[in-house]
Amino acid sequence: MLRILTVVLFVQLALPLAAQDTTTDKEFRGQDAQRVAAWLKVSQDHAADYRLTPKDKPDAPLKMLSKAVFRHSQPVRGDDIGAVYLWVDESGLPAALGTVFSYSYGGPGERWVAHEFHSLCSSPLTGKWREADAWSPDEPGVEWKEVPEAPSSAESENSRLRQMREIGRRMSAHSTDANDSRWELRLITQPIYQYAPKQPSDTIGGGVFLFCQGTDPEVILMLEARQFKGRRAWYYTLAPFTDYGLSVTLDSKEVWSLAKGHHPTRTSAHWWNGKMEVKKLSEKEEAELAAAFKAGQRAESAD
């Protein structure tokens, strides 16, 4: 994930939401629960203000999932509070991944809000935030490759999940920071999103996974089962979620890499803005936003 501050050692608390508690206490230990809830509501509202649309389907905007798929904080490197969101297309296939997080800046209650995105589409997107042009990648976000020596994809979702985890165990990844220090990344084996298309398609189903430094998302891994003329096969694609150097191997052979310090633009598949908005909350505003966030959590739990 984009670094706003650079240090060698940090701890980031983040878990796939399937493994997270519905309260903020366990997710953000050591931070004020009301403040965390308030800024998670800010994060959610910022994400909801995006309108992402395939350029070849201007009347079919992508749908943001109502629940964040990942949450993160950084109590050592900083005091980040944020979450990761996923947008899907008409068939429920992943199309874009974005994180919105805030960090202290200036006086009490004042924080910058940062955005980071990566397209997961095979075609260009148009992105508006609060009706203004923001992120509009004019290139495909991912490039798929067939997984060598992979089994024919299974029929059930549970069996396909086991197959995806087996493929993941064949892969390894590391990052390289600005000081040329190497960081081994670990694959979180619970997908942040598992899917099957709602409409007839060559795609059978797949999942979105994360390689992390500790628990900080660095590489996005997508695995997808497809069928062509009766043949079923597994495919993979990899994408960055950091400005560190990256390398991924499959069966000990490098299959994807990215140089450190890359600087994406608002028209590239990977984009960030570390200072999208500066926002200051009064104690009253913080309490109101925290209450709204917790009410939303209770509603989600009831569903």
Q: What was the pLDDT predicted at 77?
A: 55
| Residue 142 near residue 222 (C-beta atoms within 8 A) | yes
Is the pLDDT reported for residue 62 higher than 80? yes
Q: How many angstroms separate the CA atoms of 153 and 151, rounded? A: 6
Alpha-carbon gap, residue 142 to 238, rounded angstroms: 7
Among 50, 82, 83, CA closest to 68: 83
Q: Tell me the C-alpha distance between 297 and 291, whole Å.
A: 10
Tracing tokens 């905007």 back to the chain, one arrives at 61
Question: Which residues have a Cβ under 8 Å from the Cβ of 294 and sit 6 or more positions away?
Answer: 37
How far apart (Å, rounded) are the C-alpha atoms in residues 31 and 131?
A: 33
Rounded distance between C-alpha atoms, residue 239 and residue 117, angstroms: 11
Taking only the tens place, the pLDDT of each residue in 226-282 is 998 889 999 999 999 988 999 999 999 999 999 988 888 899 999 999 899 999 999
Rounded to 5 degrees, φ, ψ at 173 are -150, 150
What percentage of the chain reaches a pLDDT higher than 70?
Answer: 87
Q: Report which of residues 262 and 34 the model is more confident about.
A: 34
Q: What is the mean pLDDT of residues 16-41?
A: 67
Give the CA dihedral 273, 61, 38, 271, nearest 10 degrees: -10
The whole-number pLDDT of residue 133 equals 94
Backbone angles phi, psi at 117, to 5 degrees: -135, 155
Mean pLDDT across the chain? 88
In whole angstroms, give the CA distance from residue 240 to residue 2. 10
Q: pLDDT tier at 112 (50, 70, 90 boundaries)?
A: very high
Residue 78 has pLDDT above 80, yes or no: no
pLDDT of residue 197: 93
- Mean pLDDT along residues 294-299: 91
pLDDT at position 29: 62
Q: Is residue 222 predicted with pLDDT exceeding 60? A: yes
What band does 287 get if pLDDT is binned at 50, 70 and 90? very high
**232 alpha carbon, distance to own chain's centre:** 28
Domain coordinates of the chain in residue numbers?
17-302
- Report pTM: 0.89
In whole angstroms, what is the distance from residue 303 CA to residue 299 CA?
6
Q: How far apart are the first and last CA of the chain?
A: 31
Tell me: the pLDDT tens digits for 94-108?
A: 999 999 999 998 888
At residue 157, does pLDDT exceed 90?
yes
pLDDT for 301 equals: 81
Q: How far apart are CA 133 and CA 126, in angstroms?
A: 8
Q: Are 63 and 54 in contact (CB under 8 A)?
A: no
pLDDT at site 178: 87
Q: What is the mean pLDDT of residues 1-21?
A: 44
Give the SS3 label for residue 5. coil
Give the E-state strand segments of 130-265 in sequence order: 132-133, 145-146, 171-176, 182-195, 203-213, 216-228, 231-240, 245-250, 253-258
Percent of the chain with pLDDT over 90: 69
Tokens of 190: 């619970």
- Is pLDDT at 9 greater than 50 in this prediction? no
| Amino acid code (one letter) for 85 | Y
Cβ–Cβ < 8 Å for 108, 94: no
